[in-house]
Amino acid sequence: MTQKGLAGHKARKRFGQNFLHDEHWIGRIARTIDATPADTVVEIGPGQAALTRKMIEQAGHVTAVEIDRDLAAWLRETFPETLTLIEVDALKLDWQTVYPDKRIRIIGNLPYNISSPLLFHLMAVADRVIDQHFMLQKEVVDRMVAAPGSKVYGRLSVMLQYRYRMQKMFDVPPGAFTPAPKVTSSIVRMIPKKTEDLLPVNYQAFSDVVAAAFNQRRKTLRNAISSFLTEEDIRNCEVDPGARAEALGVEAFVRLANAVAQKGNVGI
């Protein structure tokens, strides 16, 4: 069974528009999110409301961020009471202004072309996010949840795993969308760790050292991060200077970052 959307709307590639049409998958995603009337649900990119409808059924009301003017107009008209629309680029939105006094649940079948920057952008409000459920390219979800030693473990894995507990839920095939994308998608659940459970770290140093380490991921750490730390510094962090970035867990990167900060080598 398929869903009705905005008749005649031509999917816009620049906005990463692939609309879910398959009730089986829409229902499965909605059951995974499992919102209740007590939840403040914020959706990124409601599009033709495939997930929005279900979220309204579950939660009674949804707030959504949509960049496409035509879709925004249609959404306003279709859901005058149950949808609050923020017509803006989710990347430019100051998320601190979205229900600043509430804990929110964020969902979205994200435009794939901006998914990584958006995930980083949303970290700013992680302290009052209950959870995030996103549909992303399978390959991106695999990178997000990858463990050390995996070929796809990298910067995205370390930076996000520092802040969130993440779980890949299931894959969604291209045929569930119109138009069908070329790639398989996956649903990921992200639950921010409690602020008090986060390892103390100089975030800029952390971001710098992780980027440098994976920028040259085939190099040993002694070479890849030599502009930040000496071999001895690295050893003092209980890290093998002969190891490669992909072998290191989040805690080891945090130790390296704090050593970088201590040496004053931040932002070099």
Give residue for tokens 């409808």.
53
Pairing of strands 104-109, 129-137: parallel
45-64 residues in contact with ligand SAM (CB under 6 A) are: 45-48, 50-51
114 binds ligand SAM (CB under 6 A): yes
Binding ligand SAM by CB under 6 A: which of 89, 127, 171, 251? 89
Which of 129, 94, 116 lies closest to 16 in space, CA to CA?
116
Q: Is 91 in the site for ligand SAM (CB under 6 A)?
A: yes
Identify the CA nearest to 53 among candidates 86, 85, 30, 28. 30
Q: Residues 52, 35: contact at Cβ < 8 Å?
A: no
| Nearest CA-CA partner of 55 in 68, 69, 70, 37 | 37
Is residue 98 close enough to count as binding ligand SAM by CB under 6 A? no
As a whole number of angstroms, the distance between CA 35 and CA 54 comes to 9
* Joined tokens for residue 222: 């002694």
Considering only 66, 208, 233, 246, the residue that binds ligand SAM (CB under 6 A) is 66
Distance between CA atoms of residues 117 and 78, nearest Å: 30
Residues in 117-176 that interact with ligand SAM by CB under 6 A: none
Residue nearest to ligand SAM (CB): 45
- Contact between 68 and ligand SAM by CB under 6 A: the answer reads yes
Does 241 help bind ligand SAM (rule: CB under 6 A)?
A: no
Q: CA nearest 92: which of 131, 135, 122, 51?
A: 122
Work out how close the CB of 108 gets to ligand SAM at its nearest, in angstroms, rounded to a whole number. 6
Of 17 and 258, the one with the shorter C-beta distance to ligand SAM is 17
Choosing from 59, 67, 245, 257, the residue that interacts with ligand SAM (CB under 6 A) is: 67
Q: Provide, rounded to whole angstroms, the least separation between the CB of residue 248 and ligand SAM.
A: 33
Applying CB under 6 A, the residues found at the interface with ligand SAM are 15-20, 44-48, 50-51, 65-68, 71, 89-91, 109, 111, 114
